[in-house]
Structure formats: C-alpha cells, structure tokens
Homo-oligomer: A and B are copies of this chain.
Amino acid sequence: MTRKLRLGMVGGGQGAFIGAVHRIAARLDDRFELVAGALSSDAARAQASAAEVGITRSYPDWREMARAEAARDDGIDAVAIVTPNHLHAPVATAFLEAGIHVICDKPLAISLAEAEALAKLAREKKKLFALTHTYSGYPMVRHARELVDAGELGDIRVVQVEYAQDWLAEPIENTGTNKQAGWRTDPAQSGPAGCLGDIGTHAYHLAAFVTGMLPKELSAEVHTFVPGRKLDDHVQVMLRYANGARGMLWASQVASGAENALRLRVYGTKAGLAFDQEYPNDLWFTPLGGASERLTRGRVKSAIAAHATRVPPGHPEGYLEAFAQLYLDAALQIEALDAGKPVPPESRLLTTVDDGVEGMRFIETVLRSSGMNAQYQEIGNG
C-alpha cells in the first residue's frame, strides 16, 4: 500500500452537512488521512470541531493554514473546500498558490469571472482541481455515459433532467436554527443563485456528464415561491443543443414530497435511458421498439462501472460511495501528478475545474435569460 495522502479541510465544522460527508468519502477507500483543518471561521468552534473529528493541526484561519501547511515537510497534499460558496474561490486560490491540490464543493464560485480565474490558476499551477459533483461518481451514471459514448443511443434528440426537493418549501431559513437553510438562501454566502446554484448545477452537470454535450442556448426562468426568501427556490429551463437536440431542466426546493429526486432521461435515435438518483443501483435502458432493461453493475460488462464500485451486485451502494469515488479518482490523479506520470485512464471521469466553469456559465446565462422574460440566450460554452 502506498502512503496515504494527507488531506486538509476548510469549512465543515459543527452544524455543517457536507463536511462530514467529505470526511467519510475521503476515508472510505483508505487513500487519505485527514490531518489539518480550518473547520470554522469561529476560532473556538474550529478548535472544538477539529477535536471532535480527530484533527490535530487545527487552524483558526485558512490563509494561515495554506501558508503553514505549504511550509511543512509533512504538509497536506490536498485540501477539501467545504465552505459556503462565496469562499470557494478565495480559499482555492490560496491553496493553489501554496502548491496544494484542491478538492472543492460545487458550485465552483459565485461568478463566472471568479471561476475562469480559478481555472486559469489551476492550469498554471498544474495542480488537481476536482469539483465534487457527487452524482457523477455512481457506477451506473458512468456506465450511462459509456453507453452514450459507444453510440448505443444513436444521435441524442431529447434530454430531460430534473432535481426536486422540498426541504425549503417553508421559510425555515428564518428560524435561525437551520445553518444549512441559512447560508443557502443568503446571497452574501451563496452568490446570486439559490436553488439554481445548489441543485440546478448538479442537474446541468449530470446531463452534460452523461450526454457529453453542453447546450448552446437556453431560455430560463428562476422563481421564488416562499415569501421573503432572498434567492430563487425554483428554476425551469429549455435547452437547445448544437446537434439539434432539445432539452428541459427544472429544479425546485419547494416540490412538496420530493426528498432528493435527481432524475435524468436521455432519448436518442436508437435508444433511451433513465437514471433516478434515489435508486442509484439501477440504470434503465430501452432500445427503440425493445423492452426496457434494468441494468445493474452486475449485469453489465463495464470496466468503467467496475472501477467505481466496491461490493458485488445486489449489495446496494449509495451516495457516500459515489462521493468516495471522486476522492479515489482524485487520489489516483494526485499520485500521478506528483510523480510526473500520466493520469490513470480509469480516473479520467473525475469532475474538473472546467466543469465548474461551465456550471457558472449556466448560472449566469439562466439569470440573464430569466431577467429578460425567458428570452433565449447563447450560453457561450466551448
């Protein structure tokens, strides 16, 4: 076994959700050890949180952490950034400047300009910049992408993607006790997009990841249902692709009854497929005129799916394993980068800073279109 990579974390202190997820994900495949952290902007809470999760090198400030870790012989190899959105770019910049690999939560930043600057910096520094679009870590999502790549769907015609939740159906951000709801509905911490940034970008990324296509223009509307809420809690979008395909995307955090219903359907000239995040061990594939097939990782011959799984078919994997897959791929890439070797092919599906740039471009185009009564707007991607 090679040495475990040393991981630091910024954000993710007590009361946070995604920090704990990152820690389990990093640990699951035994490629990282968490050794340093600036878990909270509140120094006492940072210290307490660090003690709670067994981090010995606790920093009160992430700038100091970047400097100090860079200076140590046994400094961290990579940092996981799990702060609210507004800190993604400054923190990532500091660690990249310090020569430390970055694994960052999504959305990448709070503006496209920030995102593009980060991408430029990551390229210059030749450091890994992974963006944790978790859902691309599922084996059956990766297999779906492979089916598209292999032409099994033919030419893609229709993309339908959606992400429905209901946890913000009421103004829980006003209770003061829900830290998650608080920052995610606060423009100062979340940036200009609410539901759009939080889950709309996941839907957008999932569709792009599987189809291998980004739309070229969109017509969109964001909406806020809950009175007094400062950011959108619902978004709906129509999409046009360069190849003539059409699509629709919607995301909502007020869809009463929905827990975490991210679903993708893609229809091509030869077949269609469907994926439902709440049942991630299944992928549905239906040839034109044929029977729907429930594909599972045990029933497909897929190196790409096999690389992204740990247990035999019928033994369900879930969200944490998908997340862990991003960390596993990150480990493989970091080891290769540090050794000056080519990145292992099986790790290449890891989401990158460029995916994050596209996510921000999506956000800004949606907001622009929405501000113009949903007029179609060019997205301007590659």
CB-CB contacts below 8 Å: A323-375 with B: 373-375
- Whether A21 lies near B54 (C-beta < 8 A) is no
Closest residue of chain B to A297 (Cβ to Cβ) is: B259
A159 to B334, CA, bound (A): 45
Please report whether the interface of chain A is mostly helix, strand, loop or mixed according to DSSP.
Answer: loop
When distances are taken between beta carbons in the complex, the residues of chain B under 8 Å from A53 are 1, 30
Closest residue of chain B to A257 (Cβ to Cβ) is: B286
CB-CB contacts below 8 Å: A1-42 with B: 1, 4, 17, 20-21, 23-24, 27-30
A294 at the interface (CB under 8 A from B): yes
When distances are taken between beta carbons in the complex, the residues of chain B under 8 Å from A192 are none
Assess A157 versus B221: contact at CB under 8 Å? Given A316-B318, A318-B318: no
- Whether A293 lies near B296 (C-beta < 8 A) is no
Residues of A in contact with B, size category: 35 or more
A265 to B160, CA, bound (A): 15
- Whether B158 lies near A254 (C-beta < 8 A) is yes
Comparing A63-71, A97-105, A117-125, A244-252, the segment that makes contact with chain B is A244-252
**Proximity string of chain A (133-164) to chain B, C-beta cutoff 8 Å, 1 when within and 0 when not:** 00000000000000000000110011010101
Question: Which residues does A use to contact B, with CB under 8 Å?
Answer: 1, 4, 17, 20-21, 23-24, 27-30, 51-54, 153-154, 157-158, 160, 162, 164-166, 169-170, 219, 221, 223, 225, 234, 236, 238, 244, 246, 248, 250, 252, 254-261, 265, 267-273, 277-281, 285-296, 298-300, 310-321, 373-376
